[in-house]
Amino acid sequence: MYDELGLTGCSSHSGRRTFITGAARAVHRAGGSLRDVQELAGHRALTTTERYIEGDRDAQHRLIKLL
């Protein structure tokens, strides 16, 4: 499917990582928590979900400024 769309270097795993990272960044706007992301991902342990979430240095700097 990725090849048909002209996307190179993509896999079902990278798509899953993108989904989980996006969900983790947006879940607070829906009033949810990382536990909800964990359940959507079908993971038994939150630590598994955490391994999929990519950090965002810009967001980290904005968070520190808020504190």
pLDDT band at 3 (very low <50, low <70, confident <90, very high): confident
pLDDT band at 20 (very low <50, low <70, confident <90, very high): very high
Q: Residues 29-64: pLDDT tens digits?
A: 999 999 999 999 999 999 999 999 999 999 999 999
Q: Has residue 5 been placed in a domain?
A: no
- The total number of structural domains that make up the chain: 1
Task: State the Cα–Cα distance between residues 23 and 67, nearest whole angstrom.
Answer: 23
Q: Has residue 20 been placed in a domain?
A: yes
| Residue ranges making up the domain that contains 47 | 12-66
